[in-house]
Amino acid sequence: MPQEAFGKIPDDPAEYEFGRYSDEQLYALALYVYSLQPPPNPNQFDALAAAGQKIFEREGCTGCHTPPLYTNNQLTRARGFKIPPEHEKKFAVKNVCVNTNPDLALKTRRGTGYYKVPSLRHVWRAARWNTAAPWQRWKIGSIRSARRMIMCRPDLSGTA
């Protein structure tokens, strides 16, 4: 889309009506962001990675983190949230609860009671920016016990 389609673009979004960029500008920005390529993964797929892959598959991680996107794009309930029956038909909800702090999903203005299963694609980049989640620091031998610890599926823990 040529620049002329947007007219004069103010530097400050507050100069726009309602203080936001136009849909066309946001669409152009999204196209640009989607065109960016991530840096190559510096980690080689070696014997240790192959062992991790076996554990990932054996422990059932692919049930939620399904290749090739390594997400099923479903929702999981927050601990303490009861799924309303009408939500089971309306939303893609997996009755699995990861032991994430439920406050964001239950006690905030935007709280829905759900978390979306995140993609694990390019998760190796998170540690580079010091945003690594605790599970990224686990050793391979502790993944099985960590999975048991964080899952609160009714069939594993008896918790509804």
Domain ranges of the chain: 3-35, 47-157
Q: What is the pTM of this model?
A: 0.56
pLDDT (tens digit, 0 to 9) for every residue of the chain, 160 residues total? 555 555 666 666 666 555 677 888 889 999 999 899 888 888 888 999 899 899 989 988 898 899 988 999 999 889 889 999 898 888 888 888 877 788 888 888 778 899 888 888 888 776 544 444 444 444 444 444 445 444 444 443 334 3
- Residues 97 and 129: their CA atoms lie apart, in Å, by 27
Dihedral (Cα; 11, 15, 18, 22), 10-degree rounding: -40
